[in-house]
Amino acid sequence: MPNRKKKAVSISEIGEFGLIEHLARKVKLRNASSLKGIGDDAAVVSYGGKTIVLTTDLLIEGIHFNLVYAPLKHLGYKAAVVNLSDIYAMNAIPKQITVSIAISGKFSLNAVELFYEGINLACDRYNVDLIGGDTSSSITGLMVSITALGEAEKDQIVYRSNARKDDLICVSGDLGAAYMGLQLLEREKKIFEEDPGIQPDLSGNEYILGRQLKPEAREDIITWFREKKVKPTAMIDISDGLSSDLLHLCSASGVGCRIYQEKIPVDRATAAMAEEFRMDPLVPALNGGEDYELLFTVSLSHHEILTGNPQIHVIGHITDAGDGRNLITREGNAVELVAQGWNPLREEESV
Protein backbone atom coordinates (compact mmCIF):
# COMPACT_ATOMS: atom_id res chain seq x y z
CA MET A 1 0.00 0.00 0.00
CA PRO A 2 1.24 3.51 -0.76
CA ASN A 3 2.53 5.50 2.19
CA ARG A 4 0.17 8.46 2.31
CA LYS A 5 1.34 11.00 4.78
CA LYS A 6 -1.19 13.41 6.18
CA LYS A 7 -0.48 16.89 4.89
CA ALA A 8 0.87 19.14 7.62
CA VAL A 9 -1.37 22.17 8.27
CA SER A 10 0.41 25.44 8.93
CA ILE A 11 -0.64 27.28 12.10
CA SER A 12 -0.66 30.53 10.12
CA GLU A 13 -3.29 29.02 7.78
CA ILE A 14 -5.89 28.45 10.47
CA GLY A 15 -5.11 31.52 12.59
CA GLU A 16 -5.45 32.12 16.31
CA PHE A 17 -9.14 31.31 16.66
CA GLY A 18 -8.93 28.33 14.33
CA LEU A 19 -6.15 26.95 16.53
CA ILE A 20 -8.19 27.55 19.69
CA GLU A 21 -11.23 25.81 18.21
CA HIS A 22 -9.09 22.88 17.04
CA LEU A 23 -7.49 22.37 20.45
CA ALA A 24 -10.76 22.88 22.33
CA ARG A 25 -12.41 19.91 20.60
CA LYS A 26 -10.48 17.50 22.81
CA VAL A 27 -10.88 19.47 26.02
CA LYS A 28 -13.48 18.14 28.48
CA LEU A 29 -14.65 19.76 31.70
CA ARG A 30 -14.54 17.16 34.48
CA ASN A 31 -15.51 19.17 37.55
CA ALA A 32 -18.89 20.59 38.51
CA SER A 33 -17.11 23.73 39.68
CA SER A 34 -16.03 24.47 36.08
CA LEU A 35 -19.01 26.43 34.78
CA LYS A 36 -17.44 27.77 31.57
CA GLY A 37 -14.21 26.78 29.88
CA ILE A 38 -12.74 27.71 26.51
CA GLY A 39 -14.80 29.92 24.23
CA ASP A 40 -15.50 33.22 25.98
CA ASP A 41 -13.61 36.28 27.20
CA ALA A 42 -12.92 34.45 30.46
CA ALA A 43 -13.48 31.12 32.18
CA VAL A 44 -16.03 30.83 35.00
CA VAL A 45 -15.67 28.61 38.07
CA SER A 46 -17.70 28.27 41.25
CA TYR A 47 -16.33 27.63 44.73
CA GLY A 48 -18.33 27.71 47.92
CA GLY A 49 -21.12 29.77 46.43
CA LYS A 50 -18.71 32.31 44.93
CA THR A 51 -18.54 32.68 41.15
CA ILE A 52 -15.01 33.44 39.99
CA VAL A 53 -14.03 34.67 36.53
CA LEU A 54 -10.49 34.04 35.20
CA THR A 55 -8.64 35.13 32.09
CA THR A 56 -5.03 35.07 30.93
CA ASP A 57 -3.19 36.87 28.17
CA LEU A 58 0.25 36.56 26.61
CA LEU A 59 2.20 39.52 25.17
CA ILE A 60 5.42 38.92 23.25
CA GLU A 61 7.92 41.54 22.12
CA GLY A 62 7.98 41.82 18.34
CA ILE A 63 4.54 40.28 18.01
CA HIS A 64 2.24 42.27 20.31
CA PHE A 65 4.38 45.31 21.07
CA ASN A 66 7.46 47.17 19.88
CA LEU A 67 9.68 48.79 22.51
CA VAL A 68 10.95 51.29 19.95
CA TYR A 69 7.82 53.33 20.64
CA ALA A 70 6.07 51.58 23.55
CA PRO A 71 7.43 52.95 26.86
CA LEU A 72 7.82 50.19 29.45
CA LYS A 73 5.63 52.02 31.95
CA HIS A 74 2.84 52.28 29.37
CA LEU A 75 3.35 48.65 28.41
CA GLY A 76 2.91 47.51 32.01
CA TYR A 77 -0.29 49.52 32.32
CA LYS A 78 -1.67 48.21 29.02
CA ALA A 79 -0.73 44.60 29.80
CA ALA A 80 -2.84 44.75 32.96
CA VAL A 81 -5.74 46.64 31.40
CA VAL A 82 -6.27 44.25 28.48
CA ASN A 83 -6.84 41.44 30.98
CA LEU A 84 -9.15 43.52 33.14
CA SER A 85 -11.17 44.32 30.02
CA ASP A 86 -11.87 40.59 29.57
CA ILE A 87 -13.22 40.42 33.11
CA TYR A 88 -15.52 43.39 32.53
CA ALA A 89 -16.69 41.75 29.29
CA MET A 90 -18.15 38.97 31.46
CA ASN A 91 -20.06 41.62 33.47
CA ALA A 92 -17.77 40.85 36.41
CA ILE A 93 -15.48 42.97 38.62
CA PRO A 94 -11.71 42.28 38.54
CA LYS A 95 -10.09 41.77 41.93
CA GLN A 96 -6.61 40.26 41.50
CA ILE A 97 -3.90 39.72 38.88
CA THR A 98 -0.74 37.64 38.67
CA VAL A 99 2.13 38.79 36.45
CA SER A 100 4.78 36.52 34.92
CA ILE A 101 7.63 37.82 32.79
CA ALA A 102 10.54 36.39 30.84
CA ILE A 103 13.32 38.94 30.30
CA SER A 104 16.58 38.95 28.39
CA GLY A 105 19.90 40.39 29.46
CA LYS A 106 19.31 43.62 27.55
CA PHE A 107 16.94 44.83 30.30
CA SER A 108 18.23 46.69 33.33
CA LEU A 109 16.68 46.65 36.79
CA ASN A 110 15.40 50.17 36.16
CA ALA A 111 13.62 48.98 33.01
CA VAL A 112 11.85 46.21 34.93
CA GLU A 113 10.89 48.69 37.65
CA LEU A 114 9.31 50.95 35.02
CA PHE A 115 7.25 48.06 33.68
CA TYR A 116 5.97 47.17 37.15
CA GLU A 117 5.28 50.83 37.87
CA GLY A 118 2.79 50.71 35.01
CA ILE A 119 1.30 47.49 36.40
CA ASN A 120 0.87 49.11 39.81
CA LEU A 121 -0.73 52.21 38.31
CA ALA A 122 -3.35 50.01 36.65
CA CYS A 123 -3.94 48.19 39.93
CA ASP A 124 -4.49 51.53 41.68
CA ARG A 125 -6.79 52.79 38.92
CA TYR A 126 -9.01 49.69 38.93
CA ASN A 127 -8.69 48.71 42.61
CA VAL A 128 -7.02 45.41 41.80
CA ASP A 129 -4.39 43.51 43.81
CA LEU A 130 -1.17 42.15 42.33
CA ILE A 131 -0.89 38.84 44.20
CA GLY A 132 1.98 36.97 42.54
CA GLY A 133 3.45 35.59 39.35
CA ASP A 134 6.76 34.29 38.07
CA THR A 135 9.99 35.53 36.50
CA SER A 136 12.30 33.75 34.09
CA SER A 137 15.07 34.47 31.62
CA SER A 138 14.53 34.89 27.90
CA ILE A 139 16.99 34.39 25.06
CA THR A 140 15.58 37.40 23.22
CA GLY A 141 13.25 40.18 24.22
CA LEU A 142 10.42 40.39 26.73
CA MET A 143 7.43 38.12 27.25
CA VAL A 144 4.57 38.98 29.59
CA SER A 145 1.79 36.70 30.84
CA ILE A 146 -0.94 38.11 33.07
CA THR A 147 -3.84 36.27 34.69
CA ALA A 148 -6.76 38.27 36.02
CA LEU A 149 -9.41 37.07 38.48
CA GLY A 150 -12.76 38.66 39.11
CA GLU A 151 -16.10 37.93 40.69
CA ALA A 152 -19.81 38.35 40.08
CA GLU A 153 -23.10 36.86 41.14
CA LYS A 154 -23.73 33.74 39.08
CA ASP A 155 -26.91 35.18 37.55
CA GLN A 156 -25.07 38.35 36.51
CA ILE A 157 -22.40 36.66 34.38
CA VAL A 158 -22.80 37.54 30.70
CA TYR A 159 -21.56 35.16 28.00
CA ARG A 160 -21.16 35.59 24.26
CA SER A 161 -23.76 32.94 23.57
CA ASN A 162 -27.11 34.42 24.60
CA ALA A 163 -27.87 37.05 21.95
CA ARG A 164 -31.39 36.70 20.57
CA LYS A 165 -33.26 37.91 17.49
CA ASP A 166 -34.24 41.61 17.69
CA ASP A 167 -31.72 42.37 20.47
CA LEU A 168 -29.98 45.71 19.99
CA ILE A 169 -26.27 45.62 19.13
CA CYS A 170 -24.33 48.27 21.05
CA VAL A 171 -20.76 49.48 21.46
CA SER A 172 -19.19 51.75 24.05
CA GLY A 173 -16.96 54.71 23.19
CA ASP A 174 -15.56 54.98 19.68
CA LEU A 175 -13.67 52.64 17.38
CA GLY A 176 -10.53 52.62 15.28
CA ALA A 177 -8.44 55.06 17.32
CA ALA A 178 -5.95 52.49 18.61
CA TYR A 179 -5.28 51.20 15.10
CA MET A 180 -4.66 54.67 13.70
CA GLY A 181 -2.37 55.41 16.65
CA LEU A 182 -0.39 52.30 15.71
CA GLN A 183 -0.21 53.35 12.06
CA LEU A 184 1.17 56.74 13.08
CA LEU A 185 3.80 55.17 15.34
CA GLU A 186 4.85 52.71 12.65
CA ARG A 187 5.13 55.48 10.06
CA GLU A 188 7.30 57.67 12.29
CA LYS A 189 9.45 54.67 13.23
CA LYS A 190 10.10 53.91 9.58
CA ILE A 191 11.01 57.53 8.85
CA PHE A 192 13.41 57.59 11.82
CA GLU A 193 15.05 54.33 10.76
CA GLU A 194 15.64 55.72 7.29
CA ASP A 195 16.99 59.02 8.61
CA PRO A 196 17.81 59.17 12.36
CA GLY A 197 18.23 62.92 12.04
CA ILE A 198 14.48 63.34 11.58
CA GLN A 199 12.68 63.38 14.91
CA PRO A 200 9.18 61.81 15.13
CA ASP A 201 6.30 64.27 14.70
CA LEU A 202 3.53 63.10 17.03
CA SER A 203 2.11 66.47 18.09
CA GLY A 204 -1.65 66.92 18.04
CA ASN A 205 -2.29 63.17 18.03
CA GLU A 206 -2.48 62.55 21.76
CA TYR A 207 -5.90 60.90 21.60
CA ILE A 208 -5.12 58.14 19.10
CA LEU A 209 -1.65 57.58 20.61
CA GLY A 210 -3.17 57.22 24.07
CA ARG A 211 -5.71 54.71 22.79
CA GLN A 212 -2.87 52.58 21.42
CA LEU A 213 -0.26 52.94 24.15
CA LYS A 214 -2.40 53.36 27.27
CA PRO A 215 -5.94 52.04 26.74
CA GLU A 216 -8.57 51.95 29.46
CA ALA A 217 -11.02 49.18 30.32
CA ARG A 218 -14.72 50.16 30.42
CA GLU A 219 -15.35 49.81 34.13
CA ASP A 220 -17.75 52.77 33.85
CA ILE A 221 -20.08 50.85 31.55
CA ILE A 222 -20.28 47.87 33.91
CA THR A 223 -20.99 50.23 36.83
CA TRP A 224 -23.71 51.89 34.75
CA PHE A 225 -25.30 48.52 34.00
CA ARG A 226 -25.58 47.83 37.70
CA GLU A 227 -26.96 51.27 38.52
CA LYS A 228 -29.62 51.03 35.80
CA LYS A 229 -30.31 47.33 36.40
CA VAL A 230 -29.47 46.51 32.79
CA LYS A 231 -28.03 43.10 32.02
CA PRO A 232 -26.76 42.53 28.47
CA THR A 233 -27.83 39.32 26.78
CA ALA A 234 -24.33 38.80 25.32
CA MET A 235 -21.03 40.67 25.51
CA ILE A 236 -17.41 40.66 24.30
CA ASP A 237 -14.64 43.23 24.38
CA ILE A 238 -13.30 44.59 21.11
CA SER A 239 -9.71 43.43 20.96
CA ASP A 240 -9.56 42.00 17.42
CA GLY A 241 -11.80 44.52 15.63
CA LEU A 242 -15.56 45.10 15.51
CA SER A 243 -16.15 42.78 12.56
CA SER A 244 -14.17 39.87 14.02
CA ASP A 245 -15.56 40.19 17.53
CA LEU A 246 -19.16 40.63 16.36
CA LEU A 247 -18.78 37.47 14.29
CA HIS A 248 -17.44 35.65 17.39
CA LEU A 249 -20.52 36.77 19.33
CA CYS A 250 -22.92 35.80 16.53
CA SER A 251 -21.28 32.39 16.07
CA ALA A 252 -21.44 31.65 19.80
CA SER A 253 -25.12 32.67 19.88
CA GLY A 254 -26.09 31.05 16.57
CA VAL A 255 -27.58 34.26 15.17
CA GLY A 256 -27.15 36.78 12.37
CA CYS A 257 -26.82 40.55 12.56
CA ARG A 258 -27.27 43.84 10.76
CA ILE A 259 -25.13 46.82 11.68
CA TYR A 260 -25.28 50.22 10.02
CA GLN A 261 -22.28 52.15 8.75
CA GLU A 262 -23.60 55.54 9.82
CA LYS A 263 -24.12 54.30 13.38
CA ILE A 264 -20.53 53.13 13.99
CA PRO A 265 -18.84 55.72 16.25
CA VAL A 266 -15.52 57.11 15.02
CA ASP A 267 -13.74 59.99 16.74
CA ARG A 268 -12.76 63.01 14.63
CA ALA A 269 -9.07 62.47 15.42
CA THR A 270 -9.35 58.91 14.11
CA ALA A 271 -11.12 60.03 10.94
CA ALA A 272 -8.52 62.76 10.35
CA MET A 273 -5.61 60.33 10.66
CA ALA A 274 -7.37 57.81 8.43
CA GLU A 275 -7.77 60.54 5.81
CA GLU A 276 -4.05 61.35 6.14
CA PHE A 277 -3.33 57.69 5.37
CA ARG A 278 -5.86 57.78 2.50
CA MET A 279 -7.99 55.25 4.30
CA ASP A 280 -11.76 55.07 4.79
CA PRO A 281 -12.37 55.57 8.57
CA LEU A 282 -14.69 52.56 8.42
CA VAL A 283 -11.69 50.27 7.85
CA PRO A 284 -9.94 50.85 11.22
CA ALA A 285 -13.33 50.95 12.99
CA LEU A 286 -14.27 47.51 11.64
CA ASN A 287 -10.91 45.79 11.53
CA GLY A 288 -8.37 47.69 13.62
CA GLY A 289 -8.69 46.07 17.02
CA GLU A 290 -7.18 46.97 20.41
CA ASP A 291 -9.96 49.44 21.19
CA TYR A 292 -11.00 47.46 24.30
CA GLU A 293 -14.48 48.89 24.06
CA LEU A 294 -17.43 46.69 24.98
CA LEU A 295 -19.61 45.16 22.27
CA PHE A 296 -22.87 43.89 23.69
CA THR A 297 -26.48 43.04 22.94
CA VAL A 298 -29.50 44.03 25.01
CA SER A 299 -33.23 43.54 24.83
CA LEU A 300 -35.11 46.02 22.66
CA SER A 301 -37.00 47.05 25.80
CA HIS A 302 -33.84 48.81 27.07
CA HIS A 303 -33.59 51.19 24.11
CA GLU A 304 -34.84 54.25 25.96
CA ILE A 305 -32.46 53.70 28.89
CA LEU A 306 -29.50 53.30 26.51
CA THR A 307 -30.13 56.63 24.82
CA GLY A 308 -29.48 58.34 28.16
CA ASN A 309 -25.82 57.28 28.13
CA PRO A 310 -23.70 59.21 25.57
CA GLN A 311 -20.96 56.57 25.84
CA ILE A 312 -23.24 53.85 24.44
CA HIS A 313 -24.11 53.64 20.74
CA VAL A 314 -26.75 51.39 19.18
CA ILE A 315 -25.26 50.24 15.87
CA GLY A 316 -27.68 47.55 14.75
CA HIS A 317 -29.72 44.52 15.75
CA ILE A 318 -29.59 40.73 15.92
CA THR A 319 -31.32 38.72 13.20
CA ASP A 320 -32.01 35.07 12.45
CA ALA A 321 -28.87 33.16 11.45
CA GLY A 322 -30.30 32.59 7.98
CA ASP A 323 -30.42 36.33 7.32
CA GLY A 324 -26.62 36.52 7.39
CA ARG A 325 -24.24 38.85 9.17
CA ASN A 326 -24.19 42.10 7.30
CA LEU A 327 -23.06 45.70 7.31
CA ILE A 328 -25.57 48.09 5.77
CA THR A 329 -23.73 50.87 3.97
CA ARG A 330 -24.84 54.50 3.84
CA GLU A 331 -26.19 53.72 0.38
CA GLY A 332 -28.36 50.93 1.80
CA ASN A 333 -26.33 48.03 0.40
CA ALA A 334 -25.83 44.89 2.47
CA VAL A 335 -22.19 43.77 2.69
CA GLU A 336 -21.27 40.50 4.38
CA LEU A 337 -19.07 40.99 7.44
CA VAL A 338 -15.66 39.33 7.18
CA ALA A 339 -13.28 38.66 10.05
CA GLN A 340 -10.34 40.83 9.01
CA GLY A 341 -9.17 41.82 12.48
CA TRP A 342 -5.63 41.33 13.76
CA ASN A 343 -4.44 37.73 13.90
CA PRO A 344 -1.13 37.20 15.75
CA LEU A 345 -0.57 33.81 14.14
CA ARG A 346 -0.48 35.10 10.58
CA GLU A 347 3.12 35.05 9.48
CA GLU A 348 2.97 38.46 7.81
CA GLU A 349 1.42 40.23 10.78
CA SER A 350 3.96 41.30 13.34
CA VAL A 351 4.66 44.64 14.98
- Look at residue 348 in the predicted model and tell me its pLDDT: 44
User: Percent of the chain scored above 70 by pLDDT?
Assistant: 86
Between 13 and 263, name the one with better pLDDT: 263
- Give dist(CA 207, CA 276) in Å, integer: 16
Q: If you write DSSP's letter for every residue of 192-208 in order, what string do you get?
A: HHH-TTSPP--TT-HHH
Q: How far lies 91's CA from each of 63, 101, 159, 297, 299, in Å?
A: 29, 28, 9, 12, 16
Angle made by CA atoms 184, 188, 189, in degrees to the nearest 5 = 115
3-state secondary structure of 24: helix
- Which CATH code is given to the segment(s) 31-156? 3.30.1330.10
Per-residue pLDDT of 108-150, as tens digits, reads 999 999 999 999 999 999 999 999 999 999 988 899 999 999 9
Q: If you write DSSP's letter for every residue of 25-89 in order, what string do you get?
A: TT-----TTEEE-SSSSSEEEEETTEEEEEEEEEEEBTTTB-TTTS-HHHHHHHHHHHHHHHHHT
- Give dist(CA 313, CA 307) in Å, integer: 8
* Mean pLDDT in residue range 306-315: 96
- Look at residue 30 in the predicted model and tell me its pLDDT: 58
Per-residue pLDDT of 204-225, as tens digits, reads 999 999 999 999 999 999 999 9
**To 10 degrees, the CA torsion angle through 185, 245, 297, 24?**
-140
* Mean pLDDT in residue range 29-47: 71
- Look at residue 69 in the predicted model and tell me its pLDDT: 93
Per-residue pLDDT of 254-307, as tens digits, reads 999 999 999 999 999 999 999 999 999 999 999 999 999 999 999 999 999 999
- Give dist(CA 196, CA 264) in Å, integer: 39
Say if 31-156 and 168-336 have the same CATH topology: no
* Mean pLDDT in residue range 67-91: 96
pLDDT category at 15 given cuts 50, 70, 90 is low
- Which CATH code is given to the segment(s) 168-336? 3.90.650.10
Pair 74, 213: CB distance under 8 Å: yes
Per-residue pLDDT of 171-210, as tens digits, reads 999 999 999 999 999 999 999 888 888 888 898 999 999 9
- Look at residue 42 in the predicted model and tell me its pLDDT: 81
Whether residue 247 is predicted with pLDDT greater than 90 in this model: the reply is yes
pLDDT category at 6 given cuts 50, 70, 90 is low
Q: Where are the domains of the chain?
A: 31-156, 168-336
Between 7 and 79, name the one with better pLDDT: 79
- Look at residue 351 in the predicted model and tell me its pLDDT: 37
Pair 73, 114: CB distance under 8 Å: yes
- Look at residue 342 in the predicted model and tell me its pLDDT: 47
Q: For residue 257, what is the enclosing H or E element? A: strand 256-260
Whether residue 13 is predicted with pLDDT greater than 90 in this model: the reply is no
Whether residue 91 is predicted with pLDDT greater than 90 in this model: the reply is yes
Kindly state the DSSP code that residue 147 receives in the 8-state scheme: E
DSSP-H helix ranges across the chain: 11-24, 72-88, 109-126, 177-194, 206-213, 219-228, 242-253, 268-276, 282-287, 303-306
User: Percent of the chain scored above 90 by pLDDT?
Assistant: 75
- Look at residue 44 in the predicted model and tell me its pLDDT: 85
Between 46 and 232, name the one with better pLDDT: 232
Between 105 and 310, name the one with better pLDDT: 310
Q: How far lies 157's CA from each of 88, 167, 181, in Å?
A: 10, 18, 33
Strand partners of residue 296: 170, 235
Mean pLDDT score of the chain, rounded to an integer? 89
Between 349 and 44, name the one with better pLDDT: 44
- Look at residue 56 in the predicted model and tell me its pLDDT: 92
